[in-house]
Amino acid sequence: MTGTGNIVARKAFPAAAKEKLTDTQLRANLRRATHTIRDKRLRVVGEVPDWEALRVAGAAIKDDVLSRLPELLERFEAAATAAGAVVHWARDAAEAAALVTDLVQATGTTEVVKIKSMATQEIGLNEELEAAGIAAVETDLAELIVQLAGDTPSHILVPAIHYNRSQIRDIFTRNGLSALTDDPPALAEAARRHLRAKFLSAKVAISGANFAVAESGTLVVVESEGNGRMCLTLPETLISVVGIEKLVPTFRDLEVFLQLLPRSSTGERMNPYTSLWTGVTPGDGPRTVHIVLVDNGRTDTLADEVGRQALRCIRCSACLNVCPVYERVGGHAYGSVYPGPIGAILSPQMSGEGANSTLPYASTLCGACYDACPVRINIPEVLVHLRQTGPHPAAERAAMRALSWTMRSRRRYAAALRAARRGAAPVRWATGGKVRRLPWPMSAWTAARDAPLPPKQTFREWWARERA
């Protein structure tokens, strides 16, 4: 079934991108951050002699998961249940969000602490909880910044990447968090003080998971700050929302992903903290553990032979950080919680048509994302596939119809070329060889690019003259 929730853009990409392109502060912030991370990633990836072999193994492990998904899901459920967890299933975003809200309400609490999770953003959990009178406190620094600013995330790893340090300090100050300076350590200290009491008193925590191990029912959370450990350890109840594609078959498979993920995402050899837990451990951590397995459009994606490779994604964000389009427009222009190259192939597949249908065009097909991807998702290939199979804009259809009529007859084609050249001569004289705006239907093309003028002579004419 088609996915719902915060993966469906409300505005088409071309219009949203146009707006964002005028924000020079945004572009400066993004440029600085993405370039920092690119260099770091290259350095730590270069340290690993068997990086390519790890990528190949990582891609294959995920493909294996997709082909054995039914049995692995059942195995995960059985193992997690045996270890004391309660496993739930949800068909779409609304069902998942309602389920989690019920679980929280059953505990009687009105405030939950949250670990940054793409799955909970995708299902619109915070909105649903709020409607039920439950405050969801984001504890990841960047999520906290975005939440305090009343904004939405713009990057899958660093949701506040569009803010620089002085903007962050302003957001803190407006919300009563005092940071002495806009030095990153001072900002981190302010967040620590703000959240400490919440961690120590929270009754319920909500997380996602980076990986779910089918053979043992183990969940894995990869993080930096320790807010994840706080949420996973101190509250009595833990609810984890997990996409069905997060599985890996065995514990051993983590030896591949725990090498690929940190180096690809934050450009570190290893992130500061990784937690693994299996159901309930008496005397250590939460006494009640729920796991919600979510489909929300993943099975639709799985059904597409070319497009299903998007489900290998481990959400490292390397493809965003290297993308020339993302660097200029930022995450909000994509309109989905999954922005950048991976979002351009994942959101339209998960959500079906609608505003997302322009997303496969949000790329120059340069291929940098494919080279960076630790699980070798051929994003350009899927983009082209989605362009071919997706709905085509009216202007493109009209232009193609006219072109095909012209090209079906040699006489019409030659006449059209002659007419174009004659028409172009005065334009060339006036513009110096480039056209910025053509009439409909070609205006759809020139809205975002210049069109070249036809050359002064055709190849056939040149050939005839040279060989005369």
Which residues bind to ligand SF4, rule: CB under 6 A? 264, 313-319, 342, 372-375, 377
In 244-324, where do the E strands start and end? 247-248, 273-278, 288-294
Query: How many amino acids of this chain bind another protein (CB under 8 A)?
Result: 99
Q: Which stretch binds another protein (CB under 8 A): 15-23, 297-305, 347-355, 389-397?
A: 297-305
- Nearer of residues 113 and 314 to ligand SF4, judged by Cβ: 314
Beta bridge partners of 212: 219, 247
Shortest reach from residue 296's CB to ligand SF4, in Å: 17
Categorise residue 283: left if φ over 0, alpha if ψ from -120 to 50, beta otherwise: left
- Partner interacting with residue 230 (select from ligand SF4, another protein, none; CB below 5-8 Å by kind): another protein
Beta bridge partners of 135: 111
Question: At 135, phi and psi to the nearest 5?
Answer: -85, 130
- Nearer of residues 319 and 355 to another protein, judged by Cβ: 319
- Nearer of residues 19 and 50 to another protein, judged by Cβ: 50
- Partner interacting with residue 373 (select from ligand SF4, another protein, none; CB below 5-8 Å by kind): ligand SF4
- Partner interacting with residue 421 (select from another protein, ligand SF4, none; CB below 5-8 Å by kind): none
- Partner interacting with residue 314 (select from another protein, ligand SF4, none; CB below 5-8 Å by kind): ligand SF4
Q: Which of residues 259-278 bind another protein (CB under 8 A)?
A: 259, 262, 266, 268-278
The C-alpha atoms of residue 468 and residue 454 are separated, in whole angstroms, by: 23
- Partner interacting with residue 69 (select from another protein, ligand SF4, none; CB below 5-8 Å by kind): another protein
- Nearer of residues 204 and 355 to another protein, judged by Cβ: 204
Tokens representing 106 are 């059953």
What DSSP designation does 284 have? B
Please enumerate, as own/partner, the contacts of 60-64 that have beta carbons within 8 Å and a separation of 24 or more.
61/248, 61/249, 61/253, 61/256, 61/257, 62/245, 62/248, 62/311, 62/312, 62/314, 62/375, 63/309, 63/312, 64/249
DSSP annotation string for 217-240? TEEEEEESSSHHHHHHHSSSEEEE
Shortest reach from residue 253's CB to ligand SF4, in Å: 15
- Residue 291: how many CB atoms within 10 A of its CB? 24
Residue with tokens 């796991």: 291
- Partner interacting with residue 140 (select from another protein, ligand SF4, none; CB below 5-8 Å by kind): another protein
Q: Which of residues 200-229 bind another protein (CB under 8 A)?
A: 200, 216-218, 224-227, 229
- Partner interacting with residue 445 (select from another protein, ligand SF4, none; CB below 5-8 Å by kind): none
Q: Which stretch binds another protein (CB under 8 A): 190-198, 346-354, 411-419, 420-428?
A: 190-198
The C-alpha atoms of residue 84 and residue 373 are separated, in whole angstroms, by: 35
Asked if residue 5 lies in contact with residue 124, where contact means CB atoms within 8 angstroms, the answer is yes
- Nearer of residues 195 and 372 to ligand SF4, judged by Cβ: 372
- Nearer of residues 195 and 319 to ligand SF4, judged by Cβ: 319
Q: What is the CA radius of gyration of the chain?
A: 25
The C-alpha atoms of residue 320 and residue 373 are separated, in whole angstroms, by: 10
The C-alpha atoms of residue 225 and residue 69 are separated, in whole angstroms, by: 32
Q: Should residue 142 be labelled a site residue for another protein when binding is judged by CB under 8 A?
A: yes
Shortest reach from residue 230's CB to ligand SF4, in Å: 26
Q: Which of residues 225-244 bind another protein (CB under 8 A)?
A: 225-227, 229-230, 232-234, 244
What DSSP designation does 249 have? S
- Nearer of residues 120 and 299 to another protein, judged by Cβ: 299
Shortest reach from residue 382's CB to another protein, in Å: 15
Pinpoint the alpha helices (H) of 115-222.
Answer: 118-122, 125-131, 141-148, 165-174, 184-201
* 86 three-class SS: strand
Asked if residue 337 lies in contact with residue 118, where contact means CB atoms within 8 angstroms, the answer is yes
The C-alpha atoms of residue 399 and residue 440 are separated, in whole angstroms, by: 9
Give which of 154, 187, 124 is closest to 29, Cα–Cα.
154
Q: Which of residues 55-84 bind another protein (CB under 8 A)?
A: 56-57, 60-61, 63-64, 66-70, 73-74, 83
Q: How far is CA 5 from CA 320, 350, 391, in A?
A: 21, 10, 22
- Nearer of residues 11 and 203 to another protein, judged by Cβ: 203
The C-alpha atoms of residue 254 and residue 79 are separated, in whole angstroms, by: 17
- Partner interacting with residue 392 (select from ligand SF4, another protein, none; CB below 5-8 Å by kind): none
- Nearer of residues 111 and 461 to another protein, judged by Cβ: 111
The C-alpha atoms of residue 137 and residue 144 are separated, in whole angstroms, by: 8
Q: Which stretch binds another protein (CB under 8 A): 53-61, 342-350, 360-368, 450-458?
A: 53-61
- Nearer of residues 122 and 225 to another protein, judged by Cβ: 225
- Nearer of residues 33 and 319 to ligand SF4, judged by Cβ: 319
- Partner interacting with residue 318 (select from ligand SF4, another protein, none; CB below 5-8 Å by kind): ligand SF4
